[in-house]
Amino acid sequence: TSGVILGVDSPELSSSIKQAFSKRLVSKTYHAIVLPSKAPLREGTWKDNLLEKREKGKLRVVRGNGPTALTRASVERSRIGLYGLSLLKLMPQTGRTHQLRIQCALRNVPILGDKNYGNFALNRKLAKASRVDRLCLHASRIELEINWKGRAIVFSADSPLPRSFGKLLS
C-alpha cells in the first residue's frame, strides 16, 4: 500500500492519536484499481464478518464468524482501457486486517497486484504488459480529530494517486 503514513515522535501525541482511532474519530480514504467483474459492482456500504486464520504459517482472512468489517465504496472510474480496470474509492469504517483487500475479493473485484486474494494469472499478465508490479491500493487521505492539551484539533493529510495508477488507467 502506498500513500499517507501517520507518524509521531511524542508519546503524549501518540496516546491522543490512539484514542482517536479507538473512538473512531479517524476518517481514511483509499483508492484501489480493481480487476473487472462480470456483474456490476454494488456501491454503498459493504458489511462482512471477517475471520483471521493461519494457513501454512501465513495469515489469511476469510468470511466467517469474526468481527464486522464496514466499508463505504464507490466507483470513480469504470471499465477503463484494454483490460477493463476500475478505480474504486474505499472508506473503511472499521480497521480489520486486510479488510479492503478481502472485501474487494469477496465481491469478485480483487485489487490488482494482490498476491493473497487476487487473480494471480491476470496479475502476472498485467504486470508484464504494463511493467507495474505492485498492490494497487493507495491511502489517499486521512483526517482525524484529537484532543491535544485541552483543545480539539483536526489534522488531515492527502496523497495524490501514484503515477503507476495513471499509467494503468490510461
Mean pLDDT of all residues in 143-164: 92
Contact 99, 50 (CB under 8 A): yes
Range with the largest mean pLDDT of 50-64, 79-93, 106-120: 106-120
For the stretch 57-85, pLDDT in tens is 777 787 888 899 999 999 999 877 778 89
Nearest to 89 by CA among 161, 164, 167: 161
CB 116 within 8 A of CB 129: no
pLDDT in the model for residue 164: 93
Model confidence at 41, pLDDT cuts 50, 70, 90, reads confident
Mean pLDDT (the chain, rounded): 90
CATH level 2 (architecture), domain 2-169: 2-Layer Sandwich (3.30)
Task: Give me the helices (H) in the chain, please.
Answer: 11-22, 99-106, 120-130, 163-169
The whole-number pLDDT of residue 38 equals 77
79 phi-psi bin (left φ>0, alpha ψ -120 to 50, beta other):
left
Tell me the pLDDT band of 147, cut-offs 50, 70 and 90.
Answer: confident
- Asked whether 117 and 50 are in contact (CB, 8 A), the reply is no
By C-alpha distance, which of 127, 139, 140, 138 is closest to 168? 127
DSSP annotation of 112: T
Mean pLDDT, residues 120-137 taken together: 92
How many other CB atoms are there within 10 angstroms of residue 54's CB atom?
8
Model pTM score: 0.90
Residue 6 has a CB neighbour count (10 Å cut-off) of 13
C-alpha to C-alpha distance for 101 and 89, rounded to whole angstroms: 13
